[in-house]
Amino acid sequence: MSERHFRTCNLCEAICGVEIEHENGRVISIRGDKDDPFSRGHICPKALALKEIYESPNRLRKPLKRIGKEFHEIGWEEAIGETAERLRDVRNRFGRDAVGVFQGNPSVHNFGTMLSSGALLKALKTKNNFSATSVDQLPHHFAAWSMFGHPLLIPIPDIDRTGFMLVFGANPIASNGSLMTAPDIVNRLESIRKRGGKIVLIDPRRNESTRIADEHHFIRPGSDVYVLLAIVHTLFADNLIKPDRLADFTDGIETVRNSMARFTPERAESGSGIAAGTIRRIAREFAASGKAVCYGRMGVSVQKFGGLCQWAINIINILTGNFDRAGGAMFTRPALDLLQTAKRGENIFGRWRSRVRGLPEFMSELPVAAMAEEIDTEGDGKIRALVTSCGNPVLSTPNGSRLEKALAKLDFMVSIDIFVNETSRHASIILPPATGLETSHYDAVFSLLAVRNVAKYSPPLFGKSPDSRFDWEIIQELAHRVGGSEEPFKAVPPEAKLDFGLKFGPYKLSLDELIKNPHGIDLGPLEPCLPVRLLNDSIRIQLSPEPMIKDLERALNDDPDPSELVLIGRRNLRDNNSWLHASEVLMKGKNRCTLLINPADAERHGLEDGRTARVRSRTGTVEITCEITDDIAPGVVSIPHGYGHKRIGFETDAINPGVSINDLTDDLVIDGLTGNAAFSGVPVSVSAV
């Protein structure tokens, strides 16, 4: 007889509740959990991949060791022992920074990895620490730290109560939110309009979210900063500043006023393509709406001025009083509060720099755009051994071809991964953890980014095999051995930290209480919490941090060539990270890895719909099927993220390996303020094949 199991889908940020029917160790069906108070029965197609990942014949279940050009299965004791020994050997011979670490995006989707990885970093003591943060949301963290005192104090749009949502460079219907954990996002956004509100979307592509927007405006990639600053300019020029109670604990308003004088709507129009009159109208409507929120995501983060963009978004919300109040941008009060023990006023920027380019550290990480050069550039401090966890940087970081070549030069590499992918295939040893339905889960990070305060624990559905190990067991034992501890090793389950954190958290919950509530616990809407929640020394909002004010000169001096054809990425609802392309159910149907191009540009470059186009950039060349559409702005082309599996022959009848956009993106072009990769607006040329 079949049984039902309730858990959280951890494949993306939406943390939807799922109901899994199973029998005799086999998944029968996966559907949305109608009793989950947060997701309300909603799931997206990705949830079906939970079954495929668990059952995949390609998923690794035992450690692999490279012998010559082939992998061979080995036992756990040999795998862990040799890995620790090789890492120690490299560190002893060449110094602790000769070992590098890369952690991929799924690390924060994985309860055990997230709560254990710090121990391994502490044992390795390397400054060459990289992650997916600097190809994604680093500008959000930088703005949060410099303005509010901590990189995780990221304001969340209170979309359930807002009346005007201004969206830059985001596609929430495809991403299910993104730094705005919001399951059932379609109904949440449509409810804004149903209650008389308005949604304005500004993006180089008329994306999937356009169908729920009242207005869409094309924008030149990389020019968002000028439009955002022009909105701030208009707020001052039209006397629309009304921070209300925020004025009592906000510093720097006059500094911002003086700094915005040169960022007029007319200046923004010339670079962005959005009319000055339209910019002024949007600013005025936003200020007059009563409950409004400005939100920007990947499109404004992964560009040359990502840090300034996220700073400007916060300024717009603060100056109009749409901050720390219902319907605006607010902070969560999570049951497991990762900020509860945070140090007030801690400096986490520029404490050291990368060896080759001198790029600054932030949050104990260096920009991942520097990782390849730190491996393939000779000299003292060169990375000679690499640990990768839950990541595929060959496909997910800029100039992946260079990184791929650099990996071949390593003395040793270990990958903690469930697949042989474009990155892990270069490893000396692969350590595959138990995964998905075999593991427990609690969303420690995404509960901190949710549009509503919630708490939910998911126990394992299936037991792991005796010959497998959890991620936290692997990571903790590596840390124990690399650190040279003489104490007997005993892994500590992440539930121990969770239970402790819940009991001392704001709601005084416990793990037992969450287990008794398998659908999750609704802890209420977001609530005002400032200035108490601020974590800088002054306990005041810093509206004009010195790094931001200085970086305005860089923006003023930037002069992009409007005649260039530029490249942007995109995401589909059925895509997420590259490893989900192993799911045949998600990859069936129309080819999604195409080059989107405007009809005028296609005619100019002699391209035909459905035919192959050649795309060139400074770093590489790809050939890809052309898809002509007026849904993309003139002068812009788009390739989706996460493809390029021809490197490993990752192809079935259902799967198109596609091409990697990161064979075209440039590791030398970054946001000069934060070090984040500048994926959006890469100059390219196109021609017919």
Q: Choose the weakest-confidence range: 207-221, 255-269, 563-577.
A: 563-577
Residue 450 lies in a domain: no
Q: Are 289 and 158 in contact (CB under 8 A)?
A: no
User: To 5 degrees, how large is the angle CA 373–CA 374–CA 379?
Assistant: 110
**What pLDDT score was predicted for residue 113?**
93
**Do residue 188 and residue 324 come from a single domain?**
yes
Residue 652 has pLDDT above 60, yes or no: no
| C-alpha closest to that of 232 among 270, 268, 197 | 268
**Do residue 577 and residue 673 come from a single domain?**
yes
Sign of CA dihedral 421, 132, 623, 598: positive
The range of the structural domain enclosing residue 394 comes to 64-126+384-443+457-519
286-318 tens-digit pLDDT:
999 999 999 999 999 999 999 999 999 999 999
Residue 51 has pLDDT above 60, yes or no: yes
Q: Rounded to whole angstroms, what are the CA distances from 124 to 117, 356, 490?
A: 11, 21, 19
**What pLDDT score was predicted for residue 654?**
42
| C-alpha closest to that of 298 among 579, 544, 661, 548 | 661
Residue 347 lies in a domain: no
192-220 tens-digit pLDDT:
999 999 999 999 999 999 999 999 999 99
Per-residue pLDDT, averaged over 626-654, amounts to 83
**Do residue 75 and residue 24 come from a single domain?**
no
CATH code: domain of residue 644: 2.40.40.20
Q: Rounded to whole angstroms, what are the CA distances from 495 to 73, 333, 507, 687?
A: 31, 20, 17, 55
**What pLDDT score was predicted for residue 53?**
87
**Do residue 306 and residue 160 come from a single domain?**
yes
Q: Choose the weakest-confidence range: 110-114, 132-136, 197-201, 265-269.
A: 110-114
Between helix 276-288 and helix 265-272 the angle, nearest 10°, is 120
Residue 611 has pLDDT above 80, yes or no: yes
**What pLDDT score was predicted for residue 577?**
74
Q: Choose the weakest-confidence range: 228-237, 390-399, 462-471, 580-589.
A: 580-589
Give the integer Cα–Cα distance in Å for 371 and 134: 11
CATH code: domain of residue 280: 3.40.228.10
Entry pTM: 0.97
Residue 4 has pLDDT above 90, yes or no: yes
**Do residue 536 and residue 669 come from a single domain?**
no
Percent pLDDT > 70 in the chain is 99
Residue 83 lies in a domain: yes
Structure tokens given for 541: 């909002």
**Do residue 192 and residue 287 come from a single domain?**
yes
Q: Using H for helix, E for strand and C for coil, what is the string for 580-637?
A: HHHCHHHHCCCCCCCEEECHHHHHHCCCCCCCEEEEECCCCEEEEEEEECCCECCCEE
Question: H helices of 176-264, where?
Answer: 185-194, 224-237, 253-259
Per-residue pLDDT, averaged over 126-144, amounts to 97
**Do residue 45 and residue 121 come from a single domain?**
no
**What pLDDT score was predicted for residue 653?**
42
**Do residue 294 and residue 395 come from a single domain?**
no
Residue 487 lies in a domain: yes
**Do residue 302 and residue 423 come from a single domain?**
no
363-386 tens-digit pLDDT:
999 999 999 999 999 999 999 999
Residue 579 has pLDDT above 90, yes or no: no
Residue 364 lies in a domain: no
Residue 651 has pLDDT above 70, yes or no: no
Looking at the structure of the chain, the number of domains it has is: 4
Per-residue pLDDT, averaged over 327-336, amounts to 98
Give the integer Cα–Cα distance in Å for 52 and 107: 20
**What pLDDT score was predicted for residue 650?**
45
Per-residue pLDDT, averaged over 61-72, amounts to 95
- Cβ atoms within 10 A of the Cβ of 512, count? 10
Q: Choose the weakest-confidence range: 53-57, 243-247, 528-532, 629-633.
A: 53-57
Per-residue pLDDT, averaged over 500-526, amounts to 97
CATH code: domain of residue 76: 3.40.50.740
Q: If you average pLDDT over every residue of the chain, what do you get?
A: 95
pLDDT band for position 589 (50/70/90)? confident
CATH code: domain of residue 32: 3.30.200.210
Q: Choose the weakest-confidence range: 409-423, 424-438, 582-596.
A: 582-596
Residue 12 lies in a domain: yes
Name the burial class of residue 411, with classes exposed (0-12), middle (13-18) and buried (19+) by CB atoms within 10 angstroms of its CB: middle
Per-residue pLDDT, averaged over 15-40, amounts to 96
Query: How crowded is the C-beta side of 68, counted as CA atoms within 13 Å?
Result: 2
**Do residue 30 and residue 149 come from a single domain?**
no
Q: Choose the weakest-confidence range: 158-162, 245-249, 358-362, 581-585.
A: 581-585
- Cβ atoms within 10 A of the Cβ of 424, count? 27
Residue 243 lies in a domain: yes
Task: From 36, 55, 74, give the residue that closes a domain.
Answer: 55
**Do residue 7 and residue 97 come from a single domain?**
no
**Do residue 501 and residue 569 come from a single domain?**
no
420-457 tens-digit pLDDT:
999 999 999 999 999 889 999 999 999 999 999 999 99
Beta bridge partners of 251: 542
